[in-house]
Amino acid sequence: MDTGPDQETPEAPPAPRRRRWWRWPVRVLGGLLALVLGVIVWFQFSAWPGAMLIRHSGAFGGGGADPIAQYVPDDITRLIDVVYDDSGPDGRLDVFYPEPAQEPLPTVVWVHGGGFVAGTKEGLTEYLSVLASHGYTIASIEYTKAPEGTYPTPVLQVSDALSFLVANADEYRIDPDQIVLAGDSAGGHIAAQTAMTIAEPDYAAAAGLPSALPAESLRGTILCSAATDPRLADTANPTWGFFLRTVLWAYSGEKDFQHSDAFRWATLPEHVTEAFPPSFITTGPYDPLLAHSEVMVEALQDQGVEVDTLFFDAETTDASIGHEYQMDLSTPEARTAMERMVGLLREVTQTPLVLEGVSDTW
């Protein structure tokens, strides 16, 4: 066929492009590595991710059968979410008292635990209802957890709650002249430090903390598995190290919390004096914070403070009797703890309403 000079030669089709199939996997892998690196850096420079991981891990949630429900009496008045501070969502408290009460009763102000970063007052509703059955008003305090609320925010909030309760004592069946501060775990630290601000004016002034009550109104403390001294934190422990480093960093607001100038006032055994009120202190032999209770007891006894203790021999005690063991009233150890708490209350207060409480029937 004659193509001739004026006839165009058809262009050859373009060569097919070789698909570089590895590009997208590499991009995805690079993105994942960058994300992992970012998370690692975030954990190194901020307490927030670790605190949120602990808070939402379920470690401080319920689950399973309630070991307290069978003991809760029916004749307990419950006032839920009373607002003591309307400046934020955490300024709430619950009040429990036996229904026969028509007059002010000696009052236990309880601060819940949760490692300073978690937990809520709702976890104590049943337990504190049982305690109230013995003829006492119980106020259960909510507070802002770390890292949203760093030290000393919870101490200030408990002081605010005390001021509110005193100002509204008649409405909530509270005897403002007979207050016992109580707490478990991290709440034990907050309660004990609040007690120190009331009982020891020099300490309160040096630490820059308020005293919410006259010293004579504070009759005692109840400290269950309390974390009393950050210096005792075994941050290198392979099991608990990450948890302890994280929660104390979150609460103190400083990664090097053990050398924090402000946080040194949180080392409670170092600062207690003979003015600290009579106390009941307990925890289980398998509590990783056992040393905190032991050191606090030793410091108080050295100052001549009246201390009732309940500890157990690890060799003859079940391994379940550990941190916060007192919450499981199905165990004889927890029942004994309740009896001893009530014993302290009956020793340091006088109630116009003499009742046979739940533990009196065991």
The pLDDT tens digits of the residues spanning 172-184 come to 999 999 999 999 9
Residue 112: its pLDDT value, please?
A: 98
Whole-angstrom distance, CA of residue 105 vs CA of residue 107: 6
Residue 136: its pLDDT value, please?
A: 98
Residue 242: its pLDDT value, please?
A: 93
Q: Based on the domain organization, do 290 and 179 belong to the same domain?
A: yes
Residue 347: its pLDDT value, please?
A: 98
Q: Is the pLDDT of residue 2 over 60?
A: no
Q: Based on the domain organization, do 321 and 294 belong to the same domain?
A: yes
Omega before residue 285 within 30° of 0, cis: no
Q: Based on the domain organization, do 98 and 48 belong to the same domain?
A: no
Domain count, the chain: 2
Q: Is the pLDDT of residue 268 over 70?
A: yes
Position 21 in a domain: no
Position 8 in a domain: no
Q: Based on the domain organization, do 41 and 184 belong to the same domain?
A: no
**Token pair of 100, please?**
């026969």
Q: Based on the domain organization, do 203 and 345 belong to the same domain?
A: yes
Which amino acid, residue 287?
D
Radius of gyration of the chain (CA): 28
CA angle 231, 190, 287 (to 5 degrees): 55
Residue 9: its pLDDT value, please?
A: 61
Q: Based on the domain organization, do 35 and 140 belong to the same domain?
A: no
Position 1 in a domain: no
Residue 66: its pLDDT value, please?
A: 74
Q: Is the pLDDT of residue 204 over 80?
A: yes
Position 11 in a domain: no
Residue 59: its pLDDT value, please?
A: 77
**pLDDT band (50, 70, 90) for residue 356:** very high
Q: Is the pLDDT of residue 20 over 90?
A: no
Whole-angstrom distance, CA of residue 66 vs CA of residue 73: 15
Position 7 in a domain: no
Mean pLDDT along residues 154-158: 98
Whole-angstrom distance, CA of residue 181 vs CA of residue 277: 10
Q: pTM score, two decimals?
A: 0.90
Residue 32: its pLDDT value, please?
A: 67
Full residue range of the structural domain in which residue 35 is found: 27-57
Q: Is the pLDDT of residue 4 over 60?
A: no
Q: Based on the domain organization, do 213 and 270 belong to the same domain?
A: yes
| Average model confidence (pLDDT) across the chain | 91
Mean pLDDT along residues 202-209: 97
Q: Based on the domain organization, do 213 and 81 belong to the same domain?
A: yes
Position 20 in a domain: no
